[in-house]
């Protein structure tokens, strides 16, 4: 019976990971034009994945999902997205899985805040040296901060208010 339960849990995790990865890819196509680039809603999905999944699964959603989305729509940024969003999601997941933690609102806010900082720094460095200039990166910096804050806020809001935390625990996703 334990093996069947474990198998069902694995299928659920793979399904949710794939669903969130697909949602990340779709949202990567829907950028809102801002000075210096676009504003993306995919950070909400990346933060949410970090809050409910393991670090590996969160990396798959954040890093690989963003990589695939950029490969389809904005290939210049795909490797920056792989590293930055992958690291962002994995670090959020690691903070949420600290031993003896109560998974409190404070912990979720801390996790997404650290993730937001990683995202802003990663994209600023990527924009400065990989596919643009430091001056261009500074133009985009306020929008990177806004995007990171938006993703963090709504990621935590969805996690807490839609009972995804309880559902993930109930079905053995975390």
pLDDT tens, position by position, 126-140: 888 876 778 877 888
Whether residue 101 contacts residue 54, with contact meaning beta carbons closer than 8 Å, is answered with no
Predicted confidence (pLDDT) per residue in 162-174, tens digit = 877 777 777 667 6
Judged against a pLDDT cut of 50, whether residue 156 lies above it is answered with yes
Give the pLDDT of residue 127. Answer: 82
Cα-to-chain-centroid distance, residue 83: 11
User: What would be the CATH architecture of the domain defined by 2-170?
Assistant: Orthogonal Bundle (1.10)
Q: How far apart are CA 170 and CA 133, in angstroms?
A: 47
Whether residue 95 contacts residue 114, with contact meaning beta carbons closer than 8 Å, is answered with yes
Q: What is the 3-state secondary structure (H, E, C) of 114-148?
A: HHHHHHHHHHHHHHHHCCCCHHHHHHHHHHHHHHH
Confidence of residue 99 (pLDDT cuts 50, 70, 90): low
Max mean pLDDT range (4-13, 28-37, 67-76, 125-134): 67-76
User: Between these two residues, 1 and 11, which has the higher pLDDT value?
Assistant: 11
Element holding 96 (H helix, E strand): helix 78-96
Give the pLDDT of residue 9. Answer: 74
Element holding 33 (H helix, E strand): strand 32-34
Judged against a pLDDT cut of 70, whether residue 119 lies above it is answered with yes
Judged against a pLDDT cut of 80, whether residue 51 lies above it is answered with yes
pTM of the model: 0.89
**What's the mean pLDDT in 77-100?**
91
Whether residue 50 contacts residue 96, with contact meaning beta carbons closer than 8 Å, is answered with yes
Whether residue 53 contacts residue 11, with contact meaning beta carbons closer than 8 Å, is answered with no
Whether residue 66 contacts residue 147, with contact meaning beta carbons closer than 8 Å, is answered with no
Q: How far apart are CA 34 and CA 134, in angstroms?
A: 17
């Amino acid at each position: 019976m334990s093996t069947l339960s474990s198998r069902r849990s694995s299928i659920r995790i793979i399904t949710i990971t794939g669903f969130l990865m697909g949602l990340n890819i779709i949202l990567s196509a829907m950028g809102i034009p801002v000075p210096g680039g676009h504003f993306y809603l995919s950070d909400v999905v990346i933060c949410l994945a970090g809050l409910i999944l393991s670090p590996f699964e969160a990396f798959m959603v954040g890093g690989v999902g963003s990589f695939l989305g950029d490969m389809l729509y904005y290939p210049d940024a795909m490797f920056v997205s792989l590293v930055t969003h992958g690291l962002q999601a994995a670090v959020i997941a690691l903070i949420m899985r600290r031993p003896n933690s109560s998974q409190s609102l404070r912990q979720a806010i801390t996790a997404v805040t650290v993730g937001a900082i990683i995202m802003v720094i990663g994209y600023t460095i990527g924009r400065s040296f990989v596919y643009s200039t430091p001056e261009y990166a500074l133009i985009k910096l306020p929008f990177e901060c806004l995007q990171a804050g938006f993703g963090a806020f709504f990621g935590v809001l969805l996690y807490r208010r839609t009972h995804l935390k309880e559902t993930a625990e109930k079905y053995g996703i975390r």
